[in-house]
Amino acid sequence: MTGNIPLEYFLVLSTLMFFTGIFGFLTRRNLITMLMSIELILNAVNINFVAFNHYLYPNQLQGHFFTLIIIAVAAAEAAVAIAIIINIYRSFKSIEVDKVNQMKN
């Protein structure tokens, strides 16, 4: 179904998505939206792995399983990060990064 789409299209797409995520990570000041930017970055990497597996090494499934594992790690990371964010919200009443400036209050 993808006979006439070159590999480079997928790589350029994932590059643009990756740097969009970086931009969000640099400009956002809210912890949850920064977490969303990280999810964008991880998703761009997943597209890369899948495209490489499909176009360059179709005799193995390494990219496929690597992507599966990245998805699982992203789920675990999101769960722990959101637990920490809720805890921060309880002590600071805010989740803006520059208001969270004390280790102990």
Partner 1 sequence: MDSNILFSLFAGAILLFAILTVTTRKVLRAAVYLLFVLVSTAGLYFMLNYNFLAAVQLTVYAGGIVVLMIFSILLTSHISEKARMATLKEGVFSALTVVAGALLTIVLIINHKFVATTEPAISTDVQNVGRQLISYGENGYALPFEVISVLLLAAMIGSIIVARKESLASNVKSTDNQE
Q: Which residues bind partner 1 (CB under 8 A)?
A: 1-5, 7-13, 15-17, 19-24, 26-30, 32-33, 35-37, 39-40, 43, 46-47, 50-51, 54-61, 64-65, 67-69, 71-80, 82-87, 89, 95-96
The Cα–Cα gap between 38 and 86 comes to: 18
Toward partner 1, which CB reaches closer, 46 or 102? 46
Q: Given phi > 0 = left and psi -120 to 50 = alpha, else beta, which region is 44?
A: alpha
Min dist. Cβ of residue 45 to partner 1 (A): 11
Min dist. Cβ of residue 8 to partner 1 (A): 6
Cα 23 versus chain centre, distance:
13
Copy the structure tokens of residue 11.
Answer: 């790589």
Min dist. Cβ of residue 98 to partner 1 (A): 9
Toward partner 1, which CB reaches closer, 4 or 105? 4
CB atoms near residue 92 (< 10 Å): 14
CB atoms near residue 23 (< 10 Å): 12
